[in-house]
């Protein structure tokens, strides 16, 4: 049985649980506050802080885990990244008060105090620039530090940028981009048996991610326009064409299309005389 570490709260927690559930691995808790759950028949989930997951996976306390790429980098631990989940997208940025003269990282004077909950990444970033800085460690709400006089500069996560704006801060540069990742213990990857189970989980998760980017589209189309319909609705191996009962003039065409091209595809099908167009989500998609 593989043990999977999932974030117990915060930005990644709900999306991770939802993804596993859609992939057929629903967490079964024994009680409301349980930090351990059965995950399908073959896996066990432990619920811990996202920041602790790289450590747990590197040490083998968990075989695999879901956490941010930022937290993996900050931990400095050796783990194998097996899948990019695409959500939890943010960047780790250097920011200064709006009215600061600083335009580039190189403008940051030696001796500056930098508030951050990413001391490891911040130190190595400024070491490479050859600027001596001092870290003011914080564990959240970093954006307030410059206004309290605790720091001149911050290094923190940015997604929409609204927290920076509200706190009258301006981004100077991005240190790294991050999304949620599945990471695995190196010994697990090297062990053929456990790697087999790991691959099973990854394949299931990938099938959900792939499906989320696609839609299944069905339409009744005039038989005489089938060649053109094939161009509009290419599907995986071309559209599926189904006879419509008692209708010689019409056939049904089914195909898989990119979610962001549904609108355009519908317009083109309509121009070919299509009727009864139906679009549905796909739960899982294995090529
Ligand atoms: N604004 C955001 N948009 C998208 N992803 C984010 C954002 N903030 C954080 N993340 C991602 O989620 C991860 C966990 O952040 P989260 O805020 O849930 O945890 P935390 O700050 O350690 O804990 P908490 O906020 O519960 O004290 C981050 O390391 C990052 O990968
Ligand atoms: O660019 P935005 O969309 O505004 O998002 C960025 C904010 O989100 C995160 O904080 P979170 O809400 O997790 O609070 P925290 O500082 O307590 O972790 C991050 O630390 C920023 O403060
Ligand atoms: Mg946070």
pLDDT digits (tens, 9 = 90+) for 217-238: 999 999 999 999 999 997 667 8
Q: pLDDT-based confidence at 72, cuts 50/70/90? A: very high
Structural contact between residues 105 and 171, judged by C-beta atoms closer than 8 angstroms? no
pLDDT reported for residue 142: 97
Ligand 2 binding pocket (C-beta < 6 A) is: 11, 140-141, 143, 156-163
pLDDT reported for residue 33: 77
Distances (CA, A) of 61 to 33, 64, 98, 131: 20, 9, 44, 37
Same domain for 58 and 161? no
The tens digit of pLDDT for each residue in 131-160 reads 999 999 999 999 999 999 999 999 999 999
Same domain for 161 and 184? no
Residue 234 sits in a domain whose CATH number is 3.30.70.120
Our answer on whether the CB atom of 137 is closer than 6 Å to any ligand 1 atom is no
The interface predicted TM-score of the complex, written ipTM, equals: 0.96
- Domain that includes residue 242, residue range: 214-281
Q: Is 286 within a domain?
A: no
Same domain for 247 and 147? no
Same domain for 25 and 148? no
Same domain for 220 and 274? yes
Q: Is 273 within a domain?
A: yes
Q: Is 110 within a domain?
A: yes
Same domain for 201 and 66? yes
Q: Is 118 within a domain?
A: yes
Last residue of a domain, one of 162, 187, 211: 211
Same domain for 270 and 224? yes
**245 alpha carbon to ligand 1 midpoint, in Å?**
54
Q: Is 287 within a domain?
A: no
**9 alpha carbon to ligand 3 midpoint, in Å?**
10
Asked whether the predicted pLDDT for residue 7 surpasses 80, the reply is yes
Residue 100 sits in a domain whose CATH number is 3.40.190.10
d(CA 210, CA 60): 29
Q: What percentage of the chain carries pLDDT values higher than 90?
A: 91
The tens digit of pLDDT for each residue in 265-282 reads 999 999 999 999 999 999
Q: What percentage of the chain carries pLDDT values higher than 70?
A: 99
Q: Is 47 within a domain?
A: yes
Asked whether the predicted pLDDT for residue 56 surpasses 80, the reply is yes
Determine the atom of ligand 1 nearest the C-alpha atom of 178: 31
φ, ψ at 71 (rounded to 5°): -75, -30
Query: How many structural domains compose the chain?
Result: 3
d(CA 157, CA 176): 9
């Amino acid at each position: 049985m593989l043990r999977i570490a999932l974030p117990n709260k915060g930005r990644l927690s709900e999306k991770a649980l939802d993804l596993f559930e859609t992939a057929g691995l629903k967490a079964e808790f024994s009680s409301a506050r349980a930090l351990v759950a059965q995950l399908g028949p073959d896996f066990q989930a432990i619920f811990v802080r996202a920041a602790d997951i790289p450590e747990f996976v590197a040490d083998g306390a968990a075989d695999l885990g879901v956490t941010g790429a930022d937290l993996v980098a900050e931990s400095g631990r050796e783990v194998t990244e097996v899948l990019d989940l695409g959500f939890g997208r943010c960047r780790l940025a250097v920011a200064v008060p709006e009215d600061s003269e600083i335009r580039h990282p190189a403008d940051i004077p030696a001796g500056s105090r930098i508030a951050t909950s990413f001391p490891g990444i911040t130190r190595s970033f400024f070491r490479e620039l050859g600027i001596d800085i001092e870290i003011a460690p914080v564990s959240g709400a970093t954006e307030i530090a410059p206004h309290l006089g605790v720091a001149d500069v911050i290094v923190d996560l940015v997604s929409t940028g609204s927290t920076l704006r509200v706190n009258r801060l301006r981004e100077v540069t991005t240190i790294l981009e991050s999304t949620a990742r599945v990471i695995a213990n190196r010994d697990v990857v090297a062990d053929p048996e456990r790697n087999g189970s790991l691959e099973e989980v990854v394949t299931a998760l990938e099938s959900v991610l792939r499906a989320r980017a696609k839609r299944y589209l069905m339409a009744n189309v005039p038989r005489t326009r089938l060649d053109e319909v094939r161009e509009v609705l290419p599907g995986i191996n071309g559209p599926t064409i189904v006879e419509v009962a008692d209708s010689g003039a019409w056939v049904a065409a089914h195909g898989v299309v990119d979610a962001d091209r549904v609108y355009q595809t519908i317009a083109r099908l309509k121009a070919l005389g299509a009727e009864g167009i139906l679009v549905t989500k796909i739960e899982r998609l294995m090529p």
